[in-house]
Amino acid sequence: MQKDNVIERVTESVTHVLEREQGQVDCLLDLSTIGMDSMRSVALIVELEEAFDIVFDDEELMFENFSTIDKIAGRVLTKLVSAAS
Amino acid sequence: MTHTSRIFNYEHANIWYYNVNKEQEWNINKEFPTMTDAQQLALVKQQEQQSLFLARPQDTVLMHHHPDPQFLCYLVEQGHKLPEIQLIKNIHSHHINSNLTYSLVPYMVTEDLEQWCLREKCDLFGADSLLVKRLNSKLYTRELATKYQFLVTSGSLCRSVEELIETYVKLTESGFEKCVLKTAFGSSGKGLRLINNSREFQSLLKFISRRSSNFELLLEGWHPVQQNINCQLLIRDGRPFILSVTEQYIDANGVYLGTNYSPEYSPQTDEHYRHEMMRLGNVLVDLGFDGICGIDSIIDQQNRIFPIIELNARFTQVTYLLDLVQRLNRDFQYIESRYVRIEFSDPLSFYEVNEILKRILAPDRDHRYLVYTFAKYTPEGTSRTKYRIYVLFYGKQQNKLRAMIQNFLTFEARQHQDRAPINM
């Protein structure tokens, strides 16, 4: 899966969890400034795992790792690449 | 009401230690979805400042983070006599360098603190650590509540995906729109996950089954709550005492928002609740418990009291503030606490933040506020600073007090990012 596709899908999940319109959230925006907190990020990781059929390791489940769409997409892409190889 | 000054051993000096967040370490279940927010944890730890309200001048409060000096001056200006504050990195490397006898008064009794007290030849306030841990488990307290015939919410302990599905179906078929999944340990919303619909349930199931096929999780129906009702229970010398009945405010995810220290319940509700709390107290006596418990209970839309939603066999925020609240209550009928999480683009001092609060809250002689925790955190590499500010509001007219509280809650840090000039 290409990074653009991953970003698009991650953006979809983020905007769903934050109840925002798509296009309102920039990839590099700190999501905590628009309402992402540890509770909502739990909903996000549950959604991302299902959407991409991946499993985040416990050590990865730190709020700072999910602070921007770009960071999240990078993490997801790494997992997809590992799973493919 | 038993005055809190009678609770602690004031024959000799106390050492206060706020070992918060210990509970989360007990969750060995990795199948329950949780996210660690290191920055908010750093702020939560600074709630250790609340020890200052119970500690006397001859006591010592061990802290991991030194409170803002301006905040300490403010407390003195407000009439508080401060104890000695000792900064520590880790209690295990801390020694009592004195021949005097001390008593350690922790937020929660744990096995490592028992060992520390043995080593330092120090008394320890509270019950046996194994009993404390057991009572803090939501799984155990549900079993206890059922055994002693307290009214419990619908639900079951589930040890497999199949049992989760079976329980979820039963709950939804019996009329519950929402359910709640709980792990054994965790406070203020940690350790519970609200399930709003079957899609969320399916997602959670997949999350869990990706990680484990054997676990212990509680799945319960989410009862629409009319009002929360909470009790601070003291067990001392084989007898239970009710220290206070308060009303906790929590959000939709079970996260603590604040406390109403002057709640209104009908006389029948109040009587029934106190009866159930004394009954629980006697159960705790039989179990050998000694110390303080915070009990979280609910009154549902059918006016039924579920007395033991959560049992906190440790101190709570109410414990630390109760002495202060009892004193304020002599002159002010209405007392509530709240906190806000705010952020400024640059660090502000306590006095700068308090000036902003004064402008927003506009206190008068009969409606006042006290900042009781000023937590501040600036991550490395940025000037953007996060705060948690905990405030006690007290006044003579409820509507005016509530208006102050509303202004506090709508206080938005972004409006003040320009560090508005302070008129001194």
Chain B residue numbers touching A45 (CB-CB < 8 A): 33, 35, 207
In this complex, the residue of A39, A47, A58 whose CB is nearest that of residue B203 is A47
SS3 B367: strand
SS3 A30: coil
Determine the topology of domain A3-84 in CATH. 1.10.1200
Give CA separation, B215 vs B157, B203, B218, B277, B307, in Å. 10, 17, 10, 31, 26
DSSP B137-206: -HHHHHHHHHHTT----SEEEE-SHHHHHHHHHHHHHTT-S-EEEE-S--STTTTEEEE-SHHHHHHHHH
Residues B101 and B161 in one domain: no
Site of tokens 């996950």: B193
A42 CA to chain B: closest CA distance, Å? 6
Q: Which two tokens stand for residue B353?
A: 């933040």
List CB contacts of B257: < 8 A, sequence separation 6 or more: B249, B250, B251, B338, B339
Chosen domain end from B221, B251, B278: B221
β-pair partners for B195: B179
For residue B330, the 8-state DSSP code is: T
For residue B91, the 8-state DSSP code is: G
Residues B162 and B117 in one domain: no
In this complex, the residue of B30, B203, B210 whose CB is nearest that of residue A58 is B30
Angle between the N-to-C axes of helices A38-52 and A69-84, in degrees from 0 to 180, rounded to the nearest 10: 30
- What is the C-alpha to C-alpha distance for residues A85 and A44, in angstroms, rounded to an integer? 26
**A49, B207: Cβ pair inside 8 Å?**
yes
Tally of domains in chain B: 3
For residue B80, the 8-state DSSP code is: P
Chain A residue numbers touching B210 (CB-CB < 8 A): 49, 55
- What is the C-alpha to C-alpha distance for residues B254 and B191, in angstroms, rounded to an integer? 10
- What is the C-alpha to C-alpha distance for residues B141 and A37, in angstroms, rounded to an integer? 29
Q: Which residue range is the domain that position B409 belongs to?
A: 331-416
Q: How many contacts (CB atoms, under 8 Å) link A and B?
A: 51
Report the pLDDT value the prediction gives residue B364, as an integer from 0 to 100: 97
CB of B314 closer than 8 Å to CB of B107: yes
State the CATH number of the domain containing residue B190.
3.30.1490.20
Number of residues written out for chain A: 85
Q: What is the pLDDT of residues B114-129, one digit of tens each?
A: 999 999 999 999 999 9
Residues B30 and B79 in one domain: yes
Site of tokens 């509680």: B218
**A50, B38: Cβ pair inside 8 Å?**
no
Report the pLDDT value the prediction gives residue B414, as an integer from 0 to 100: 44
**Weakly modelled stretches of chain B, pLDDT under 70:** 1-6, 9-10, 28-29, 412-424
**Weakly modelled stretches of chain A, pLDDT under 70:** 1
SS3 B340: strand
Domain positions in chain A are 3-84
β-pairing, B192-195 with B179-182? antiparallel
Has this prediction a pTM greater than 0.90?
yes
Task: Pick the residue from chain B with its C-alpha nearest to A61.
Answer: B35
B36 in any annotated domain: yes
B424 in any annotated domain: no
B172 CA to chain A: closest CA distance, Å? 21
Supply φ then ψ for residue B211, to 5 degrees: -110, -35
Question: Per CB distance under 8 Å, which residues of A are interface residues toward B?
Answer: 33, 37-39, 41-43, 45-47, 49-50, 55, 58, 61-64, 66
ipTM metric: 0.86
In this complex, the residue of A33, A50, A61 whose CB is nearest that of residue B35 is A61
Q: What is the pLDDT of residues B365-406, one digit of tens each?
A: 999 999 999 999 998 888 889 999 999 999 999 999 999 999
Residues B108 and B184 in one domain: no
In this complex, the residue of A33, A47, A49 whose CB is nearest that of residue B210 is A49
Report the pLDDT value the prediction gives residue B418, as an integer from 0 to 100: 38
Q: Which two tokens stand for residue B398?
A: 């409820």
B105 in any annotated domain: yes
- Amino acid identity, position A67: S
